Structure 1
Amino acid sequence: MYDHLYVGVRNINDSLKLWHDILGFSLSYRPASDCRALETLWALKPNAINGLVLLETPSAPSGRVMLVDFTEHSQSVRHGAQTFDLCPKNLDINVVNFHDRVAELKAAGYTLRSEPVHYAIDKLDVWEVQVAGCDDVNVVLTEIVGETLALTPRQFGGITSVVTIVENIYKEAEFYTALGFDMLDSHCLKGPDIEKMIGLPKGASLTMQLLGEASHRFGRAELIKYEKVEGNNLYPKAAPPAIGFFRGAVVVSDLKKCINNLSIENITDVAPMEMDYLDQKFLAITLSTPSGFIIDILQPC
């Protein structure tokens, strides 16, 4: 499971108005030592990171958000992105009382990227809407009617699914299973209703694979492959000091085993390193998925 997802911010206080004040995520201002550790892991110059804030749903086992305030910013990952471009796309947040939550965000000035949709999948009754969050982050609010899960005091729970658009969904899924994610679900979605809901050209469709842990919804990887449409590859933009959702972190029990399970081309030139981070010691390495999404793999020492 994704332990946390990195989001580069333009203004830390503006971002906290969304994540903390409205969504209700608990926060922890991380010490300067965490900034220095990430600068080393990501091969950045000293003091490239001004500050870090960790956000989480109380009692959720994974799916936290790390806001990263860089000294200098590059362009946002999703600037000008099309629906089907290859890139990190959505951070999903599950809610209860869906229409009330949507109304709260609209009242606070946030724009809906789409009208709310209502659909059934695997006998689940689902409401969903895409919201333009801070820093060009595409936030998706989802209610699975009648299902309970860990929530913030404001009735939002996240991050549940992490959506990335990929080139080869089968190779991408093999990468995640090597990291310990379980295959949970797979669908092919097509037809006029899907085209309208997602904003696809006529005749296009998508294949989805969901990987994570069956016992809870947090920190899952949702891989999307669009068919009969070709998007631009934006993954090279998903690198620090990018604005928006640009990177993930996975905690594993055996880093060596994970590396052995992966082909050597997935490993970058960053060698495993020891780092003090999040109040503990980790052995860490940076890996690239076959599609080009960068993930930090952390093993507690």
Structure 2
Amino acid sequence: MFFLLFLLVYLFTLLGNLLIMATVWSECSLHTPMYLFLCALSISEILYTFAIIPRMLADLLSTDLSISFVACASQMFSFTPGFTHSFLLTVMGYDRYLAICHPLRYNVLMNPRGCACLVVWSWTGGLVVGLVVTSSIFQLTFCGSNEIRYFGCHVLPLFKLACGDNVSTVAKGVGLVCIAALLGCCLLILHSYAFIVAAILRIPSAEGRHKAFSTCASHLTVVVVHYGFASVIYLKPKGPQSLEGDTLMGITYTVLTPFLSPIIFSLRNKELKEAMKKTFLSKL
């Protein structure tokens, strides 16, 4: 039952993100910074789900639930697009800030080279954080039980298997890196939206305010969903009985959040929705 459920969710996630990328690629009117960042976000989500969900689907049907040490390290590093996702959401918030608060200078500030640099830096930041976390954990000594009580090689379950005097120090360092990355991005997004809301409230007409806010609605919804699940996983207190709750929230964050993201952007973004109808439904 879970295999079929997660398989359908995964296929719809792939289809939704590929549909967004194909629409932006084929529709010239969508060749703007906002949709370039949306394509980068779709690529990030495809890679993130591809690294985690196929292995989870195989394990749901397999009787051999073992994973090698190297494969476990590789899977943990594959969580890197999750950090890239946060950086890209921050960049998209900055893009909306420039579009609403500095519309006359938007084309100069968000030139193609600048957009490409922001995307590259987002991916570089995600790779660096992923490399630091993975290398820090897999330098530890693992002893005793080799059973990972989780659906994948994630940070917290692996710390439970590690032993040695430096486990506590490494755990605090890794936790600080993860929380700093997530919290730093969240604060930057909130900072951008503080200026955005102030600028929208200064618009005299109700129609103008609605039009300005509609360009941010889909991004803001995805931010709330993404950081809502992430904060529950990384920031909630860890008790001895929190394993089942952690696993459930981890699956929700890994499977449901990427599934909702293309739906939110497709339904809440009028331009993208119209372009999809024009590009695909008319041909069908």
Q: Same fold (TM over 0.5)?
A: no
Q: Which has the higher strand share?
A: 1
User: If you compute each CA radius of gyration, which structure gives the higher value, 1 or 2?
Assistant: 2
Q: Which has the higher helix share?
A: 2
Structure with more contact order per residue of length (Cα contacts < 8 Å, sep ≥ 6): 2
